[in-house]
């Protein structure tokens, strides 16, 4: 899946000798300090963002390595005329409980980049978005593959907020100056792996938006059905006093397939009927009420 996340820039100016040496590793021709403009930026961190996703802390070092040498563009336009900068150094920084990738990039000074540099200095070009590919999307509640476990990001389970953890960096593409930070729907493309498009993008490309919406609606109904099955099984387990508490039951059941949940529900209902038979309050047709010795009634 391809990821685009927001960040901010800062620490701008002329390069130090060490920075200039790192810049010249990226350059074909040797550059001097007065030919380049250097700025620092925060690419991404391990905190839950507004898409209810976060990068795995353990994935940040590899992701930082992948961003080394990647280009900076404008508005995610993957064309050579949109290139304005290049990353020459990255590191993972920890501040309190937050870990993030800090990067340094350079811009070659000239007529074409003068406005970009001026906008950075003025704080106009402040937000950036990064593009990368991650191999896994993991549910923060159960640790399973998100989308297959039944949990929904944004919902709370026993007080814990469900979010998606992005793991296994595959590639880093670029960072981009954007006028407006990416919206939620533009944040994550669901294709698993670099270069693959999401189902929504394919539907838009081939004019199948109607079919896509129909599939999405059916998927939502399926999730609701699975949630109802899970709730029924949990109630039956608690009624039969099997010894497991609700959080443990939900953690186990969240990994079960719908057909397995249905079989378990049927078996538990049969067991409940044996252990806790329902006693009718009204007599069956043709059945006489038992005779009670009235002499003992008060």
Q: Can you read off the two tokens belonging to residue 46?
A: 């391990």
d(CA 43, CA 202): 28
Look at residue 293 in the predicted model and tell me its pLDDT. Answer: 58
pTM of the model: 0.57
Alpha helices by DSSP H, the chain:
17-26, 60-67, 114-122, 184-187, 199-205, 209-239, 246-253, 258-275
Look at residue 246 in the predicted model and tell me its pLDDT. Answer: 85
CATH architecture for segment(s) 2-134+170-193: Alpha-Beta Barrel (3.20)
Per residue in 169-214, pLDDT tens? Answer: 999 988 887 765 432 322 222 223 334 456 666 666 667 777 877 8
d(CA 2, CA 76): 12
The per-residue pLDDT string of the chain (298 residues; one tens digit each, 9 = 90 and over) reads 455 555 555 456 888 999 999 999 988 889 999 999 999 888 888 988 888 999 999 999 999 999 999 998 876 666 566 688 999 999 999 988 889 888 899 999 998 888 888 888 888 777 777 888 999 999 999 999 998 888 999 999 999 999 999 999 999 988 887 765 432 322 222 223 334 456 666 666 667 777 877 887 888 888 888 888 888 888 888 888 878 888 888 888 887 788 888 888 898 888 888 877 766 666 666 665 565 555 555 5
**In DSSP terms, which residues pair with 166 in a beta bridge?**
55, 137
Domain boundaries, the chain: 2-134+170-193, 209-275
Look at residue 161 in the predicted model and tell me its pLDDT. Answer: 94
> How many degrees, rounded to 5, is the angle at CA 278 between CA 277 and CA 283?
130
Look at residue 90 in the predicted model and tell me its pLDDT. Answer: 93
Q: Determine contact, residues 254/150, Cβ cutoff 8 Å.
A: yes
Look at residue 199 in the predicted model and tell me its pLDDT. Answer: 67
User: What is 154-181 written as a DSSP string?
Assistant: T-EETTEEP-EEEEEEEEEEEEEE-SSP
Look at residue 190 in the predicted model and tell me its pLDDT. Answer: 24
Q: Can you read off the two tokens belonging to residue 108?
A: 């070659």
Q: Determine contact, residues 128/84, Cβ cutoff 8 Å.
A: no
d(CA 116, CA 81): 13
* Cα atoms in the Cβ-side hemisphere of radius 13 Å centred on 132: 28
Q: Can you read off the two tokens belonging to residue 70?
A: 């990647």
132: nearest Cα among 180, 87, 96:
87
Look at residue 185 in the predicted model and tell me its pLDDT. Answer: 26
Q: Can you read off the two tokens belonging to residue 38?
A: 């250097």
Burial 95-105 (b: 16+ CB within 10 A, else e): eeeebbbbbbb
């Amino acid at each position: 899946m391809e990821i685009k996340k927001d960040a901010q820039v800062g620490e701008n100016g002329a390069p130090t000798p060490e920075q200039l040496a790192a810049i010249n590793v990226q350059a074909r021709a040797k550059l001097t300090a007065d030919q380049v403009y250097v700025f620092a930026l925060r690419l991404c961190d391990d905190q839950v963002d507004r898409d209810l996703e976060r990068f795995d802390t353990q994935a940040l070092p590899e992701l930082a390595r992948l961003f080394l040498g990647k280009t900076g563009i404008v508005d995610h336009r993957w064309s050579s005329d949109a290139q304005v900068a290049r990353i020459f150094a990255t590191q993972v920084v920890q501040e309190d409980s937050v870990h993030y990738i800090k990067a340094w990039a350079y811009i070659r000074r000239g007529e074409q980049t003068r406005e970009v540099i001026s906008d950075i200095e003025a704080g106009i070009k402040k937000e950036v978005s990064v593009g990368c590919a991650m191999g896994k999307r993991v549910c923060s509640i159960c640790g399973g593959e998100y989308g297959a476990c039944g949990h929904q990001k944004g919902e709370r389970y026993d007080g814990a907020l469900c979010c998606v953890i992005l793991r296994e960096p595959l590639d880093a593409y670029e960072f981009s100056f954007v006028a407006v930070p990416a919206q939620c729907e533009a944040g994550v493309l669901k294709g698993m792996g670099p270069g693959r498009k999401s189902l929504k993008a394919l539907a838009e490309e081939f004019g199948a938006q109607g079919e896509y919406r129909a599939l999405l609606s059916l998927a939502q109904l399926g999730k609701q059905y699975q949630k109802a099955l899970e709730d029924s099984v949990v109630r039956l387990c608690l009624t039969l006093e099997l010894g497991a508490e609700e959080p443990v039951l939900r953690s186990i059941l969240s990994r079960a397939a719908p057909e397995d949940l249905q079989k378990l529900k049927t078996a538990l209902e049969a067991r409940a009927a044996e252990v806790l038979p329902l006693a009718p309050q009204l007599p069956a047709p043709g059945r006489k009420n038992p005779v009670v010795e009235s002499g003992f009634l008060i």
